[in-house]
Amino acid sequence: MITPQRILFATMPMDGHFSPLTGLAVHLSNLGHDVRWYVGGEYGEKVRKLKLHHYPFVNARTINQENLEREFPERAALKGSIARLRFDIKQVFLLRAPEFVEDMKDIYQTWPFTLVVHDVAFIGGSFIKQLLPVKTVAVGVVPLTESDDYLPPSGLGRQPMRGIAGRWIQHLMRYMVQQVMFKPINVLHNQLRQVYGLPPEPDSVFDSIVRSADVYLQSGVPSFEYPRKRISANVQFVGPLLPYAKGQKHPFIQAKKALQYKKVILVTQGTIERDVQKIIVPTLEAFKNEPTTLVIVTTGGSQTSELRARFPQENFIIDDFIDFNAVMPYASVYVTNGGYGGVMLALQHNLPIVVAGIHEGKNEIAARIDYCKVGIDLKTETPSPTRIRHAVETVLTNDMYRQNVRQMGQEFSQYQPTELAEQYINALLIQEKSSRLAVVA
């Protein structure tokens, strides 16, 4: 039996970083642990709805996709995905780490937590582990970023190359990314560590955020990851960590209508992307003259009424939000910009995927979808109606996609994510207790 612990969850103020950890937080709280959450912005209200104590950002700025362009107007002038990624890592993640540290040190003074559970991008977690007598559990809410001799560098959305020549090319690519393109990021990381008297990290930031945690819980399953030469011993796959679902499940209210159609396409751009012209409009245009195909669109609250007026077709359902767990059993294919949580849920429901996403790390998710042959990567954020239509037809008529998705869905079904995560956390706590007893003895 594990003695109840004081566990601080700490996450970036973004849906894709916050929501996947909510199920685990509630689970640990129900087991009797004192679970509290440090996060900024509107997420404080979401924490309180989980009936958990909330610690707001005090020294830390709340920066996310909602206000990034407003806070940093210079970002709009940056050309290329690498320049934008480098800017985002610096401004959104790295420079916030010292602010997070100061807030967490203040929290510790009044509530001395013993364990921090944080999303992988919350870099303050790797700092605080070395500044306070606490253990840390990092959660991979994106594909595994750790570098490997068999892989190209993380962040480029490139798939592994085969053969000796391919691996040599990948070696050069890793060198260019880590020692040239992202060298200023790695230098800044160590400069920030030096402020706290911490030794420099020999690894890149992408490696450090994985390897520095006592336990690293990777959301997903091994078959959705590239073959690797090695994985650090602290990395554990736990299946899809998904948002907490409270109470009784609500059925899809238009299920009867969905059953009348030959094909059902579920379309989303997530809750952050506001430009409906990227994926939603092209998909509606692609199937507006196909009465046997039902297109279900979730807009995330962006231009819902305008889209309904523009596309009044009977075979379209357009809503702000739709419960994916309720609707996915009726869907035939999932069209998305590549949000990791939605992709995990689609694979769990045996849905082939058409993905059109590049920025914010979505190129890495899209590349794995294509590599695993569970869907098609359109390699753009602005696909044409023709490309979407062709990709949907391909994944629905080619048995390879259906077989691969079904096989991966079976692997997903073998995991109980919150229970597995609990086991790894318990093992860490028991190990820590044994170490303290050994020191005392």
Query: Would you say 388 and 282 are in contact if contact means Cβ atoms under 8 Å apart?
Result: yes
Q: How far apart are CA 123 and CA 186, in angstroms?
A: 13
Q: How far apart are CA 201 and CA 186, in angstroms?
A: 8
Helices (H), 72-123: 81-88, 97-110
- pLDDT at position 248, please? 62
Which CATH code, of 3.90.580.10, 3.50.50.60, 3.30.1330.40, 3.40.50.2000, is assigned to 254-414? 3.40.50.2000
3-state secondary structure labels for all residues of 115-165: EEEEECCCCHHHHHHHHCCCEEEEEECCCCCCCCCCCCCCCCCCCCCCHHH
User: By CB neighbour count within 10 A (0-12 exposed, 13-18 middle, 19+ buried), where does 25 fall?
Assistant: buried
Query: Would you say 276 and 303 are in contact if contact means Cβ atoms under 8 Å apart?
Result: yes
- pLDDT at position 274, please? 77
* pTM beyond 0.85: yes
How is residue 33 written in tokens? 């642990």
Q: How far apart are CA 388 and CA 285, in angstroms?
A: 10
- pLDDT at position 439, please? 47
Return the H-helix or E-strand segment holding 396. Answer: helix 385-397
Indicate the domain borders of the chain: 6-239+416-440, 254-414
Per-residue pLDDT of the chain (441 residues; tens, 9 = 90+): 578 999 999 999 999 999 999 999 999 999 999 999 999 999 999 999 999 999 999 999 999 888 888 999 998 888 877 888 889 999 999 999 999 999 999 999 999 999 999 999 999 999 999 999 999 999 999 999 999 999 999 888 999 998 899 999 999 999 998 888 889 999 999 999 999 999 999 889 989 999 999 999 999 999 999 999 999 999 999 999 999 987 667 788 999 999 999 999 999 987 777 789 999 999 999 999 999 999 999 998 889 999 999 999 999 999 999 899 999 999 999 999 999 999 999 999 999 999 999 888 899 999 999 999 999 999 999 999 999 999 999 999 999 999 999 999 999 999 999 999 999 999 999 987 666 655 444
- pLDDT at position 101, please? 97
Strand-strand pairing, 263-268 and 293-298 = parallel
- pLDDT at position 440, please? 46
Q: What are phi and psi of 374, to 5 degrees?
A: -105, 10
The DSSP-derived string for 314-362 is: TTEEEES---HHHHGGG-SEEEES--HHHHHHHHHTT--EEE---TTTH
Q: How far is CA 314 from the centre of its chain?
A: 34
Q: How far apart are CA 173 and CA 168, in angstroms?
A: 9
- pLDDT at position 300, please? 86
Topology match between the domains 6-239+416-440 and 254-414: yes
Q: How far apart are CA 3 and CA 157, in angstroms?
A: 43
The DSSP-derived string for 13-43 is: SSHHHHGGGHHHHHHHHHTT-EEEEE--TTH
Q: How far is CA 338 from the centre of its chain?
A: 10
Query: Would you say 391 and 290 are in contact if contact means Cβ atoms under 8 Å apart?
Result: no
Fold of 6-239+416-440: Rossmann fold (3.40.50)
